[in-house]
Structure 1
Amino acid sequence: MSTPIVSASSAAAPQDFRLPTAVRPSHYDVTIRTDLEKLTFDGFVKINLDVKAETSTLVFNSSDLNLGNITLQSDALHTAQTESSRSFEKEQERMHVHFATSLPAGSKAQLQIAFDGKLTGSMMGYYYSTYEQDGKTKYYALTQFEPTAARRSFPCWDEPALKATFAVTLISRADTVSLSNMPAISEEVYTTEPSATGSTISSLALGSKSEEKWKITKFETTPPMSSYIVAWANGPFAHLESSYTSPISGKTRPLRIYATPDLIHQAQFGLDVKAKVLPIYEKVFDIEYPLPKLDTLVATDFDAGAMENWGLITGRTSMYLLDAERADIKTKKRIATTQSHEVAHMWFGNITTMEWWTYLYLNEGFATLMGEVIIIARVFPEWKVYSEFITDHLQAALHLDAKLSSHPVEVDCPDANEINQIFDSLSYSKAASVLRMLANWVGEEQFVKGVSLYLKKRLYGNSVSRDLWEGIGEATGKDVAGMVENWISKMGFPVLTVTETEGAIKVRQDRFLETGPAEPKDNETIWTVPLSLQSSSGIDTKIVLDKREDTFAIDTSKPWKLNAGTTGVYRVLYTPERLNAIAEEAARSEDVFSLEDRIGLVYDTAALSEAGFAKVSSALSLYKAFKDEKEFLVWGSILSGIGSLRNAFWENDEIVEGLRAFTRELAGPLVARLGYEYSADESPDITELRTLAVQAASGSRLESTVEKLHGWFTTFLETGSDDHIPPELLGITYSVAVWRGGRAEFEALKKIHAKPRNPAQAIAAMQALGSSEDPALARETLEYALEHGRDQDIVYFFGGVSANRKTRRVLTEFFKERYDQIYKRFDGNFSLKFIVERAFNGLSSIKDHDETVEFFRGKDISKYRMSLEQTLDSIKAKAALIERSKEDVEQWLAANVQK
């Protein structure tokens, strides 16, 4: 039957972006047949409906599917009827099916639809992924439905609040493995190819005769769940198996991790982490994991980092695979935190689900805080993840939220094009930072207790913000909603300006913007700010600033600072004298100001100086004052600040060389002290500090370090072995080799990319290919990326070229030339917004800003609008920094650094 398309002018109005509420699905029977040779699938779905209001039209989501016959059975009417007509809203991805007889309110019905579609490499919906076996490309298939791609695989009511149970049946070739959310309850092999499009499985006889054996795998019915976490997969998977015992029920559950046979040997670490964190989650929340199993599937083509499908977590190789013989600590941390983050979603998102994408942060903010900090700290206490959170998440959140183009954590999503774009540092990192601040204010133990109450009250249901605040408020007796409301519902965050009087401090809050003081129209929000005042009498976490400014009594003659432990989501601007006093005390001893205090102090000083609240020279002086610092994370904040300045002044050779010389002064002694050899007995801090020091030294062109690393790569070229290169320094060595070398090194890196021994090596090679200062090789890298790179990996190639000041304009021009090709290839993917950002974010002049605006004029930017606006803001901020601070930076470098 033909399907007329509703014209754009008659598409749904903005207020009508949600599905009608006349019916709700209660159960789906989904049957899917997968043909990995033809790269097609077909299926049949039966959807049980509860009729809430009389209707003769059913409206549901569908996209990129060919829909066959549609029939409707009604309990109340005792009849089955076929459609009288159908129409399709392309932009809204909604099918309207009209029937002659209305369904009465309060009745039940069953909708039956046959469909078929193509497996593509889109990394959305039900798609194919590839791997190499015996020199041949092989295929397997898996799903990625979040946020709105379930509709690409079967017709459904594709909204988070419309939960239902799902019974999945997969038909596949007998020599493959089929997976879904639940365990298989039966698997039968047939010598005739089954059909999936008949009304029952008994339609097997309709299949064509085949020499190959096919099988039908039926899975248990799920609990009530949202469509975006439904999942299935089919392919020649191998697996590793473990288990854990529930501390609540004593049940032992199987845990598996699946991958293609060539990769499965690198999956043990990820499986081990999953087994360790699951019982901790159960104890912390006092809620047992409800499904009979929890699998993980590792995919070689995957757009997002990982996905929390209930019972069948999926993710890319770099997030789950670890070469036990060549593992660096950065990779270990990434895999452990990713696995823990996705397991956290089994509670945050899967058991209790946001009512709409407006509340995405209820999923992602919690999974970030719980999965990557509170829980993982209990498994790997030596990693100091509470401190690292400041670097990995708080600063990422503050950097993005300092732009006028930011958005609230709780953000309206009236258009499906907006949903992909809010999977960003605000929904993840700012949300987690606000929750961390709240936990510090009420006490972590009480916070977790309140979260448990929240989850228990919303089991298998949906939630909005107030449900969470009520749970934590009940556990703590505090006005949680009043404290946290503006942090979630308003964009931005404050800078606290502190002035001193005898025996007191006056604190004023204003919105912080990276371009400088906010204009009145952008400075209307008053936040309730936990000041976390540290003084000689200890840390007071109870006092708050809930007005524009207030005065607080304190003995200013003794050491003190605000935001103790850097738990607050704000910056603090002290007088130059107070900043110097805090810095001197922090540099002298850890007795007063903690590691977290020092990290926050450095980041605040950098951001405030770049935004014009203080001189950039004051930040450079602070970095120099910390030259004897021992902690990796503090050094990371210092070198990040210097790198930010180099990134802004990238076209000013004199300043770049001055900043490089300053970096050599700081990093050189660290390299001399720590050397290049790693020991299994040393602390993670020492390991990471050595890596950071070598990276800074090589990036600042310290000749002894450059020669050392280039020599290692020369030995690799001569011998074919890289066993002499420490895994921690592999990527740095590759970058130095391409920068210092030429065609031979460049070609060697391409070969490594084509046949890497592990995902970490592949990423290192992709990023390093962009290190050549030869514009011709830079362009060749980008051509190579589009021709040979997997879609998920293009950002690594682009990122490498973007980071190279000698070639970033090559990337910008290449993107402009290939825009149509790139847009078509990545349309709808998470990657699109990152590619746009990489192509333009390195620029730093008003001329570049204006030319970028002009390039995108008239283009449909709806799928990356937020990223583009944020990138344009970044360009303007850097241009303002250059104009404001060029002379200040030049004078400081001339007076303080020997080139």
Structure 2
Amino acid sequence: MASIFGSLRICVTLPRIRCLSTCGTRNDTQSILRSYLLRSSHILKTRNCSTSAIMTSLANKPADSGGFRLPLDVKPTHYDLTIKTDLENSIFEGVVKIDLDVKKETSTIVFNSADLKLNNASLYSDALKIKQLDTSPSLDDKAERCLLSFPTPLPAGSKATLSIGFSGELTGAMMGYYKSSFEHEGTKKYYTLTQFEPTAARRAFPCWDEPLLKATFAVTMISRTDTVNLSNMSVASEEIYEPQTTKIKDPSLEALFSALTTEDSHKAQWKVSKFETTPPMSTYLVAYANGRFAYLESSYKSPLSGKTRPLRIYSTPDVIHQAQYALDIKAKVLPIYEEIFDIEYPLPKLDTLVAHDFDAGAMENWGLITGRTSAFLLDPQKADMAAKKRVTVFQSHEIAHMWFGDITTMEWWDYLYLNEGFATLMGEVIIVDRVYPEWKVDSEFISEHLNDALDLDAKLSSHPIEVHCPDANQINQIFDSLSYAKAGSVLRMLSNYVGQEHFLKGVSIYLKKHLYGNTVTKDLWQGISESTGVDVPKIMDNWISKIGFPVLTVIENENGILVRQDRFLESGPAEEKDNETIWTVPLSLLTANGDKVNVDNSVVLDTREKTLAIDTSKPFKLNAGTYGVYRVLYSDERFAAIAKEAAKGDTVFSLNDRIGLVHDIMALSKAGFCKVSSALTIVDILHEEKEFLVWDSIARNIITLVSTWWEHEAVVNDLDAFRRALFAPIVQRLGYEYSPSESVDISQLRTRAVGQAAVAGDTTVVEELKTRFAEYMKTKDDSRIPADLFRTTILVGVKHGGRQEYEFAKALYENPTTPPSKSISAIMAMCGSQDEGCIKDTFSYILSKARNQDIIYFLNGLQMMNYPTRRRCAQFFKDNYTELAKRYEGNFSFKDVVSSAFGNLTKEEDYQQIVDFFKDKDTSRYNLALSQTLESLRASRSWINRSTTDVSEWLSEWKKRSL
């Protein structure tokens, strides 16, 4: 699955707002959280923080559900699943027949079910040749389980078939089997789809809803004749149901069909679609949908077998014209995956369904990928670079899952990273780099994923990549930057250490050994060890099983350098009890002698300290290429020397080195290992940099500074002046017009420079964009606004306008025919208005008209586009907590709503008010995100207290030099 924050990161071109994720977060039960807080109590004491206050605020949690896992006395092997969908009445009903292997003698059967009405449960035993009924199933709503009891025990080693009828409501819950809506020709219409990961298949049909319990599935869908049915597999047969002539051979299905009616029509209104049987798969990957869909079609030829497979993308008819690019990407990347893994895609087709309402970003259902409009649609006439990247990454990420997760599946959610870390690395870097090498995605990974992961993992409230998941609340919360970005970063580090070719060969070995099976971490290490001859567990175990990452301190002496590793925390040096892990750190030592550069990837640090004999009179650097998952701390003098050499371009230090340098020193300054002035000095040294991705890293970090000091007007004004001095000259040099012949790098640099100059208040840029927006409003023709500048232009237009501009942006959001990127831009613009009446309307609009999936965009917009609304945004969340919690009940994204509402506050009273608000709430769905939010607030507060004078003095000196 791709986190919605992956989409937000690219769409908004702002740093991710989270106090965790994503790519997201949620986490644990009361006992695990308590242990986290005990381990982190020192930071609360040393930062003047009350441990008891946090403990009180997070105390009201349900007890750990020790029996969350199902008993294994019986195991499912095959499901015959029939679903009848009634869109007009918003209900579904069905029958499931489940073939079982009886492992131990039992007279009870326990399976998962939630929010369903069950009926007509019966069990047929092959060994006993009898059919048994259970008329009173025992439901445990909290555990989401059902227990059936039968008078005659089933013998061990026998086979049985369980048959159950079920029914439920089609709601807008964005999980289970739910409905989504769109407007077409002035009429609101509905369709349905599934979202089962991680534990919502049980909300659609009774099942053994655990990844380990794989089975085959034969899906039958009953629906109105004017709708389209989709599922994981191809349609095997489809026929019209005619009450007078259609024979019902299966008695258990008679109730379903008897309820069908032709109403007043002489023609049948219902049809039956039977799908081919799937290979063995986990329940969370089962998918089906029903609606009046349109589609585009393509195909690809397998490089392994020569077989041609159909590829389709489905959506509602009003937006299907925006889906071609996603379809084209699918056709491009599938054969590359097959070649790399040496494993053919096993299903007869691969569809994508674009949904208007979707909780995550996208979902890797085997054979039927689903996801948001913003994940898969773009304007074919005016596609901006951000949209192209977003759609490419989403489609490729989900296709990576066809192997990582779908064919080979983690044994339990503890190992989620085996799915998501690989899909992040493979789908967003290795594969995309082969399709679009000019995008420099390996370099972009540093800002998009590595730095994001390190920011989250620098907290005591982080969690290991491989993390214990005792219940559904914990499972939902680990869909975060640690399972995605950190896992992908650690795998990228391993790939660089052993060599990508050997790494991918090991991955192929791993997949082939576990086709259609389930895996744990050691299975992966065995495959890579076999291909490389390297003791992979020795290198990797602590990176996967331990919280955090190291900061490497480099001390120069007469013998070379002494390198020491300690755990890095954003709050400052770790206390001894939090600094016990010794990582095996690939040092990637770069040394230079004139133009001759050497990188030694063999040297590792697997002790607390190590001395390396090098000539420190020549340029050197650890973590060459920024592949290591750690920060490096040098003296101020060495940092400046590296920056001065880096300012010369690629001669010694690569693009990756320069990006990593900027991120490292800013993170180190936040933690107090060096001064912010040192970081600003490095940025100033790099002011003639030519590469977009270095400027992107600079922009992200200056945004962080401004966002942190947002209530210090003088500091913000001076930072904006510094930002204008950096970016306005780039705008002057590159202008506002884009050319198809220019490089991707130039296009992206122009976009970034205009955006930064505008937000920093450069008068020339602001007036240019205001003029273009005014013309757009007057003529409804946006041809003078380049697609890549649309977001910045509308933000500037509304921020510097009034009610008329605000209403224009709102109309763009409400127009479903506009590309998704325009809709998100419109949200951000609405939130950036300086008109008090408009902002009041925006807060009302969030609950009255905004789609649930878009609330996160509104909250982020109010936090990042309009600093004065930050506390109002937090108060809005508190005032409407009950409704918001209900709307997002069971969804991934509520944790992100919590983080976004409070994640940018910095005052002591903010902290206490958050603690007081949540102390009587059941926070079990988002307690990790909440604890991370509180920890971030404290860290920001400490940074402000420690560094305000330093920042102010540096900026004052810079202004004098600039005059």
> Normalising by structure 2, what TM-score?
0.91
Q: Partner of 1:821 in structure 2? A: 883
Is residue 476 from structure 1 mapped to residue 532 from structure 2 by the alignment? yes
Which among 855, 858, 861 is matched to residue 794 of structure 1?
A: 855
Q: Partner of 1:677 in structure 2? A: 737
Residue 769 to residue 203, structure 1, CA distance change in 2 (3 Å):
closer
Residue 114 to residue 868, structure 1, CA distance change in 2 (3 Å):
same
Q: Which string of whole-angstrom CA distances, capped at 9 and with x for unpartnered residues, describes residues 343-379 of structure 1? A: 0000000000000000000000000100110011111
Is residue 545 from structure 1 mapped to residue 598 from structure 2 by the alignment? no
SS of 2:868 mapped into structure 1? coil
Q: Which string of whole-angstrom CA distances, capped at 9 and with x for unpartnered residues, describes residues 571-627 of structure 1? A: 000011111111110002311000000000000010001110001100011111111
Q: Partner of 1:156 in structure 2? A: 207
Q: Partner of 1:877 in structure 2? A: 939
Which among 696, 701, 707 is matched to residue 636 of structure 1?
A: 696
The amino acid of 2:257's aligned partner reads: L
The amino acid of 1:834's aligned partner reads: D
Q: Partner of 1:204 in structure 2? A: 257
Q: Given that residues 779 and 810 in structure 1 are in contact (C-alpha distance below 8 angstroms), is that contact kept between their aligned partners in structure 2? A: no
Is residue 99 from structure 1 mapped to residue 159 from structure 2 by the alignment? no
SS of 2:789 mapped into structure 1? helix
The whole-number CA distance in structure 1 between the counterparts of 2:739 and 2:132 is 73
Tell me the CA shift for residue 723 of structure 1: 1.7
Tell me the CA shift for residue 851 of structure 1: 1.2
Q: Given that residues 260 and 270 in structure 2 are in contact (C-alpha distance below 8 angstroms), is that contact kept between their aligned partners in structure 1? A: no
Q: Given that residues 121 and 135 in structure 2 are in contact (C-alpha distance below 8 angstroms), is that contact kept between their aligned partners in structure 1? A: no
The whole-number CA distance in structure 1 between the counterparts of 2:198 and 2:843 is 30
Which among 248, 264, 281 is matched to residue 320 of structure 2?
A: 264
Is residue 782 from structure 1 mapped to residue 782 from structure 2 by the alignment? no
Alignment map for 1:89-488 (pairs within 5 Å): 89-192=140-243, 199-200=252-253, 204-205=257-258, 207-210=260-263, 211=265, 212-488=268-544
Tell me the CA shift for residue 223 of structure 1: 0.2
The whole-number CA distance in structure 1 between the counterparts of 2:433 and 2:223 is 42
Tell me the CA shift for residue 819 of structure 1: 0.8
Q: Partner of 1:645 in structure 2? A: 705
Q: Which string of whole-angstrom CA distances, capped at 9 and with x for unpartnered residues, describes residues 374-419 of structure 1? A: 0111111111001000011001100110111111100111011111
Q: Which string of whole-angstrom CA distances, capped at 9 and with x for unpartnered residues, describes residues 736-757 of structure 1? A: 1121111111111111111152
The whole-number CA distance in structure 2 between the counterparts of 1:674 and 1:13 is 58
Q: Partner of 2:764 in structure 1? A: 704
Tell me the CA shift for residue 56 of structure 1: 0.8
Which among 891, 894, 898 is matched to residue 832 of structure 1?
A: 894
Tell me the CA shift for residue 806 of structure 1: 1.6
Q: Given that residues 321 and 380 in structure 2 are in contact (C-alpha distance below 8 angstroms), is that contact kept between their aligned partners in structure 1? A: no
The amino acid of 1:812's aligned partner reads: A
The whole-number CA distance in structure 2 between the counterparts of 1:127 and 1:349 is 23
Which among 666, 686, 705 is matched to residue 746 of structure 2?
A: 686
SS of 1:806 mapped into structure 2? helix
The whole-number CA distance in structure 1 between the counterparts of 2:104 and 2:337 is 41
Which among 923, 938, 941 is matched to residue 861 of structure 1?
A: 923
Q: Which string of whole-angstrom CA distances, capped at 9 and with x for unpartnered residues, describes residues 487-515 of structure 1? A: 11011000000001124110000110111
Q: Partner of 2:81 in structure 1? A: 30
The amino acid of 1:17's aligned partner reads: F
Is residue 844 from structure 1 mapped to residue 906 from structure 2 by the alignment? yes
Tell me the CA shift for residue 770 of structure 1: 0.8
RMSD: 1.6
State how many pairs are aligned.
890
Identity %: 60
Which among 73, 83, 88 is matched to residue 124 of structure 2?
A: 73
Q: Which string of whole-angstrom CA distances, capped at 9 and with x for unpartnered residues, describes residues 3-54 of structure 1? A: xxxxxx9x99643220001000000000000001001000000000000011
The whole-number CA distance in structure 2 between the counterparts of 1:284 and 1:461 is 20
Tell me the CA shift for residue 861 of structure 1: 0.6
Which among 543, 561, 578 is matched to residue 522 of structure 1?
A: 578
Is residue 773 from structure 1 mapped to residue 834 from structure 2 by the alignment? yes
The whole-number CA distance in structure 1 between the counterparts of 2:262 and 2:366 is 36
Q: Given that residues 773 and 807 in structure 1 are in contact (C-alpha distance below 8 angstroms), is that contact kept between their aligned partners in structure 2? A: no
The whole-number CA distance in structure 2 between the counterparts of 1:728 and 1:205 is 56
Alignment map for 1:567-716 (pairs within 5 Å): 567-716=627-776
The whole-number CA distance in structure 2 between the counterparts of 1:201 and 1:234 is 21
Which among 945, 949, 952 is matched to residue 887 of structure 1?
A: 949
Q: Given that residues 33 and 196 in structure 1 are in contact (C-alpha distance below 8 angstroms), is that contact kept between their aligned partners in structure 2? A: no
Q: Which runs of 5+ in 1 are unaligned?
A: 1-8
Q: Partner of 1:757 in structure 2? A: 818
Q: Given that residues 649 and 689 in structure 2 are in contact (C-alpha distance below 8 angstroms), is that contact kept between their aligned partners in structure 1? A: no
Alignment map for 1:30-69 (pairs within 5 Å): 30-69=81-120
Which among 843, 854, 872 is matched to residue 810 of structure 1?
A: 872
The whole-number CA distance in structure 2 between the counterparts of 1:240 and 1:377 is 26
SS of 1:146 mapped into structure 2? coil
Tell me the CA shift for residue 671 of structure 1: 0.7
Alignment map for 1:737-752 (pairs within 5 Å): 737-752=797-812
SS of 1:30 mapped into structure 2? strand
Q: Given that residues 223 and 229 in structure 2 are in contact (C-alpha distance below 8 angstroms), is that contact kept between their aligned partners in structure 1? A: yes
Q: Given that residues 421 and 491 in structure 2 are in contact (C-alpha distance below 8 angstroms), is that contact kept between their aligned partners in structure 1? A: yes
Larger RCO (alpha carbons 8 Å, 6+ apart): 2
Q: Which string of whole-angstrom CA distances, capped at 9 and with x for unpartnered residues, describes residues 264-294 of structure 1? A: 1111110000001001100100000000100
SS of 1:621 mapped into structure 2? helix
The whole-number CA distance in structure 1 between the counterparts of 2:242 and 2:155 is 45
Tell me the CA shift for residue 777 of structure 1: 2.6
Q: Given that residues 192 and 214 in structure 1 are in contact (C-alpha distance below 8 angstroms), is that contact kept between their aligned partners in structure 2? A: no
Q: Which string of whole-angstrom CA distances, capped at 9 and with x for unpartnered residues, describes residues 86-117 of structure 1? A: 21111110011111111111111000000100
SS of 2:163 mapped into structure 1? strand
Tell me the CA shift for residue 807 of structure 1: 1.3
Which among 789, 794, 800 is matched to residue 729 of structure 1?
A: 789
The whole-number CA distance in structure 2 between the counterparts of 1:775 and 1:209 is 55
Tell me the CA shift for residue 778 of structure 1: 2.3
Farther-moved stretch of structure 1 (40-49 vs 721-730): 721-730
Residue 203 to residue 152, structure 1, CA distance change in 2 (3 Å):
closer
Farther-moved stretch of structure 1 (29-38 vs 793-802): 793-802
SS of 2:797 mapped into structure 1? helix
The whole-number CA distance in structure 2 between the counterparts of 1:757 and 1:16 is 48
Residue 201 to residue 539, structure 1, CA distance change in 2 (3 Å):
farther
The whole-number CA distance in structure 2 between the counterparts of 1:488 and 1:612 is 27
Q: Partner of 2:33 in structure 1? A: none
Q: Partner of 2:49 in structure 1? A: none
SS of 2:651 mapped into structure 1? coil
Tell me the CA shift for residue 782 of structure 1: 2.1
SS of 1:362 mapped into structure 2? helix
The whole-number CA distance in structure 2 between the counterparts of 1:720 and 1:129 is 30
Q: Partner of 1:4 in structure 2? A: none
Tell me the CA shift for residue 890 of structure 1: 0.9
Residue 206 to residue 317, structure 1, CA distance change in 2 (3 Å):
closer
